[in-house]
Amino acid sequence: MFQLDYMDHSPLYEQIKEKIKALIISGVLKPNERVPSVRELAQSLTINPNTIHKAYKELELEGYIYSIRAKGSFVTPINRKINPGRQDDLLLELEKLVSELAYLNIPQEQLLSRIEEIYKKGRQRNHD
Amino acid sequence: MFQLDYMDHSPLYEQIKEKIKALIISGVLKPNERVPSVRELAQSLTINPNTIHKAYKELELEGYIYSIRAKGSFVTPINRKINPGRQDDLLLELEKLVSELAYLNIPQEQLLSRIEEIYKKGRQRNHD
Amino acid sequence: MFQLDYMDHSPLYEQIKEKIKALIISGVLKPNERVPSVRELAQSLTINPNTIHKAYKELELEGYIYSIRAKGSFVTPINRKINPGRQDDLLLELEKLVSELAYLNIPQEQLLSRIEEIYKKGRQRNHD
Amino acid sequence: MFQLDYMDHSPLYEQIKEKIKALIISGVLKPNERVPSVRELAQSLTINPNTIHKAYKELELEGYIYSIRAKGSFVTPINRKINPGRQDDLLLELEKLVSELAYLNIPQEQLLSRIEEIYKKGRQRNHD
DNA sequence: GTGGTCTAGACCACA
DNA sequence: GTGGTCTAGACCACG
């Protein structure tokens, strides 16, 4: 499914969170689709189930998946409201990032075109 | 100058780094301007000087400030060549961020207008 | 009749218990009225009949319904003597809840008016 | 500080959460006061530090305490905004509770007077 | 010394 | 078999 980078200093559960989130955002994992079980993923990554559990728990808190005891974990359909305040955090982070890019003289057009591309891809996925 | 947020889980030296960097990027600290001394800042924030020292050392490594022994630390004037590869990291991070914002149905126009604003401010500062 | 919330982490049989209890308390299910059969409910909720059975068994233990073999389950008419000690539990829980609400600076009037409303509705039902 | 009830079926970390929360709400632990360290409390309750950690983490998420690495955990001053949505959950729970109490024929006056008492105590604490 | 991460392995309730 | 709780014990980054 994906691999961990042991050179990366960020905690394993963070990496797992990011990978799963990316799979959801990119549409590889569809709404209400089942995510690998805690044990399955732990085995395939050869790490401890507790670490997966922690990653899943945080993904659930952030609204990306939901877990049902004795059933498994599933991708949250988007119409459900994702953790409010999360959007504001992301927008703030975006502003910081863009400020730095502007400071480094990255041309504005480059940013705008990248963003348009990303949104275009997103719309394509929704039309599938 | 700025305040630390103890609720924030990032280490103090990271917060200090980010705050100083933000002051440089926003133009509050001008090129070649003197940055507060380690001792001054330590006192005003009531934290250990070692923590400030660590922040300054990393800022120097990343090219934002330079220090002259017995004189203090100063804002690096050359914007361009800071940390090769840094730009790519920022752009990658930007893409991840925008993907998530698109997934959360933030309207594209909102992002574009924010970015234009940030760039406009940057140009104004350069004309001062 | 009602829906299950798979996002809720409480076990399914607990949710069923609470839903049925709420229907009884709110007067939707009248005293001595027949409660849907285990099989019916299991089918309409598309879950295992055992789960319904467990919920009903506990509702019976707590005094909210009684079942007659081969006839079905019915709402207990006698309100008063349900589960001695239950009242004290509820009152204790209420105190904890109100303490927390007071700590969060919820205005006292808001609570009082809500409670009056609930009691008013209860009286109306009894006069029907 | 307090004791655990091993007869109680709720998980240990939940009990710890409730106990600490009660100490905060009742004013025994004042804003910005230090809460026992993870290891201290673990030792005094003779349970695993991980369990305490989990309780503290959730208390932090709910806005009651904040933890600083290498410093300890502290009571959140009330002016900081507590987890929005929490209030709504509490009010919903209150309504369910009151509905049941009304159904059990607990006199309305009894509830109102209890609530007034609790709020009076809260005001007294704030005036200290 | 503090909170935070991670492992290995156990047991539980639920469906 | 699933997620969830808990223990015992290790190691790390931080201040």
Yes or no: say if D84 and D74 are a contact pair by the CB < 8 Å rule. no
User: Residue B126 to residues B66, B79, D71, D108: CA-CA distances in angstroms?
Assistant: 21, 12, 42, 69
Per DSSP, the three-state class of D65 is: strand
Helix (H) or strand (E) run with residue A53 in it:
helix A49-61
Strand nucleotide closest to residue C14 (CA to C1'): E14
For strand F, list residues 12-51 of chain A whose Cβ lies within 7 Å of it: 37-40, 50
**DSSP at A5:** -
Q: Give the pLDDT confidence score for residue A119 in this predicted structure.
A: 97
Q: Name the pLDDT band for A104 (thresholds 50, 70, 90).
A: confident
Q: Does residue D30 or residue B128 have the better pLDDT?
A: D30
Per DSSP, the three-state class of C29 is: coil
Asked if chain B contacts chain C via 3 or more Cβ pairs within 8 Å, the reply is: no
Residues on chain C touching A66 (C-beta within 8 angstroms): 6-7
- CB-CB under 8 Å, A68 with C6: yes
Q: How far is the CA of A68 from the C1' of F9 (A)?
A: 31
| Distance from C-alpha of B25 to C-alpha of B69, rounded to nearest angstrom | 24
For strand F, list residues 55-94 of chain D whose Cβ lies within 7 Å of it: 69-71
* Residue partners of D121: CB distance under 8 A and separation at least 6: none
Q: Give the pLDDT confidence score for residue C125 in this predicted structure.
A: 82
Beta bridge partners of D75: D65
- D48-106, pLDDT tens digit by residue? 999 999 999 999 999 999 999 999 999 999 876 667 788 899 999 999 999 999 988 89
DSSP secondary structure letters along A61-84: HTTSEEEETTTEEEEPPTTSPP-T
Q: Give the pLDDT confidence score for residue A21 in this predicted structure.
A: 97
- B90-105, pLDDT tens digit by residue? 999 999 999 999 999 9
Q: How high is the mean pLDDT of chain A?
A: 93
Neighbours of B22 (CB within 10 A): 15
How would you class B30 by CB atoms within 10 Å of its CB: exposed for 0-12, middle for 13-18, buried for 19 or more? exposed
Q: Give the pLDDT confidence score for residue B79 in this predicted structure.
A: 59
pLDDT at B81 over 60: no
Q: Give the pLDDT confidence score for residue D104 in this predicted structure.
A: 86
Q: Which of B8-17, B80-89, D38-47 has the lowest mean pLDDT?
A: B80-89
Q: How high is the mean pLDDT of chain C?
A: 92
Q: Name the pLDDT band for D32 (thresholds 50, 70, 90).
A: very high
Q: Give the pLDDT confidence score for residue B87 in this predicted structure.
A: 86
Is strand F less than 7 A from the beta carbon of A127?
A: no
- CB-CB under 8 Å, A80 with C6: no
Q: Count Cα atoms within 13 angstroms, Cβ side, for B48.
A: 8
End-to-end CA distance of chain D: 23
Please give the structure tokens belonging to residue D26: 């009742």
Q: Give the pLDDT confidence score for residue C1 in this predicted structure.
A: 85
For strand F, list residues 6-45 of chain C whose Cβ lies within 7 Å of it: 9
Q: Name the pLDDT band for C48 (thresholds 50, 70, 90).
A: very high
Q: Give the pLDDT confidence score for residue B120 in this predicted structure.
A: 95
| Distance from C-alpha of B75 to C-alpha of B65, rounded to nearest angstrom | 4
Average pLDDT over every residue of C121-126 = 86
Q: Which of A40-49, B119-128, C8-17, D113-122 has the lowest mean pLDDT?
A: B119-128
Which residue of B lies nearest to A25 if distances are taken between CA atoms? B103
Can you say whether the dihedral through the CA atoms of D101, D87, A57, D37 is positive or negative? negative
Q: What percent of chain D has pLDDT over 90?
A: 85
Q: How far is the CA of B56 from the C1' of F14 (A)?
A: 16
Angle CA(C110)–CA(C116)–CA(C120) in degrees, nearest 5?
145
B9 interface with D at CB cutoff 8 Å: yes
Task: Give, as ranges, the nucleotides of chain F with any atom within 7 Å of a protein CB.
Answer: 1-10, 13-15
- CB-CB under 8 Å, D66 with B11: no
Q: How far is the CA of C26 from the C1' of E13 (A)?
A: 30
- CB-CB under 8 Å, D87 with C106: yes
pLDDT at A82 over 80: no
Can you say whether the dihedral through the CA atoms of C78, C80, C82, C84 is positive or negative? negative
Helix (H) or strand (E) run with residue C73 in it:
strand C72-75
Q: Residue for token digits 């930007």?
A: B94
- CB-CB under 8 Å, C11 with A68: no
Is strand F less than 7 A from the beta carbon of B51?
A: yes
Chains C, D: CB pairs < 8 Å: 99
Can you say whether the dihedral through the CA atoms of A24, A29, A35, A36 is positive or negative? negative
Average pLDDT over every residue of B18-40 = 95
Q: Give the pLDDT confidence score for residue D127 in this predicted structure.
A: 84
| Distance from C-alpha of C123 to C-alpha of C28, rounded to nearest angstrom | 14
Average pLDDT over every residue of C74-96 = 83
Q: Give the pLDDT confidence score for residue A34 in this predicted structure.
A: 97
Q: Count Cα atoms within 13 angstroms, Cβ side, for D44.
A: 11
Q: Name the pLDDT band for C82 (thresholds 50, 70, 90).
A: low
Strand positions, DSSP E, chain B: 34-35, 65-68, 72-75
For strand E, list residues 52-111 of chain A whose Cβ lies within 7 Å of it: 54, 69-71
| Distance from C-alpha of D125 to C-alpha of D29, rounded to nearest angstrom | 12
Task: Give, as ranges, the nucleotides of chain E with any atom within 7 Å of a protein CB.
Answer: 1-10, 13-15
Q: Give the pLDDT confidence score for residue D8 in this predicted structure.
A: 94
Q: Give the pLDDT confidence score for residue A9 in this predicted structure.
A: 93
C9 interface with A at CB cutoff 8 Å: yes
Q: Name the pLDDT band for A81 (thresholds 50, 70, 90).
A: low
| Distance from C-alpha of C113 to C-alpha of B82, rounded to nearest angstrom | 62
Q: Give the pLDDT confidence score for residue B60 in this predicted structure.
A: 94
Region of residue B82 (left: phi > 0; alpha: psi -120 to 50; beta: else): beta
| Distance from C-alpha of C7 to C-alpha of B92, rounded to nearest angstrom | 33
